[in-house]
Amino acid sequence: MDVRERARALLAAARTRGDIRKLAPELDADPTLRQAVIEEGRRRGVAFDADVASWPSKRVLRRARGREAESRERLNPIARDEPFTCENCGREVPAHGRTARNHCPWCLCSKHVDLVPGDRASDCGGIMDPQRLELIGGHPVIHHLCRRCGAKGRVRAVLDGTSPDQAQALARLSAREPR
């Protein structure tokens, strides 16, 4: 197998961050293979800086596969504990104090403002209606559906006693047939 085929095979095998971490030492051990990976990346339309020779091999692999931007994409939640006014029922919802709350404890509605929990990156802004309740790991999880765009989401119910009606709302939701 020539060095270009090895470079293509290496890039095909580097599908996850773990794969990249395991395969990077091959580039460290073989400068010819490293250069072939860079050339294959350029052939695929990836731009490399002039200082690519000083880059760690993991970064070279990510960039050659076009995964550099993907590796910077935030996927974990951002904790935001802010009070808000429910747009569905109009009640003032206090901050939780420990974890982020994104649903009304009275009507269980939420607002479609996040792509990743807490990022406030959604442009929709529609009301998320509770659809069903599910127990996951012993915790109630509310499944929501956006009225405006139809997006689906789920969130762990915050059980803190803010609303005396919260238990009743959760019970009504759990009795509802799944949609």
CA–CA gap between residue 114 and residue 107 (Å, rounded): 19
Question: What spatial distance separates the first Cα and last Cα of the chain, rounded to whole Å?
Answer: 54
Q: Which pair of tokens denotes residue 128?
A: 């998320």
pLDDT value, residue 94 = 86
pLDDT computed for residue 68 by the predictor: 63
What is the mean pLDDT for each group of 10 consecutive residues in the chain (179 residues)? 91 89 92 93 88 91 78 70 91 80 87 84 92 88 93 84 68 68
User: E strands along the chain, which residues?
Assistant: 84-85, 92-93, 110-111, 127-136, 139-146, 152-156
Q: For the purposes of burial, counting CB atoms within 10 Å of the CB of 69, is it exposed (0-12), middle (13-18) or buried (19 or more)?
A: exposed
User: Using one digit for the tens of pLDDT, what is the confidence trace for 26-47?
Assistant: 999 999 999 999 999 999 888 8
Query: pTM, whole model, 2 decimals?
Result: 0.56
Q: Are 172 and 157 in contact (CB under 8 A)?
A: no
pLDDT score of 155: 87
What is the dihedral sign for C-alpha 172, 174, 177, 179? positive
Q: At what angle do helices 3-13 and 17-29 cross, to 10 degrees?
A: 160
Distance from C-alpha of 165 to C-alpha of 38, rounded to nearest angstrom: 61
pLDDT of residue 93: 87
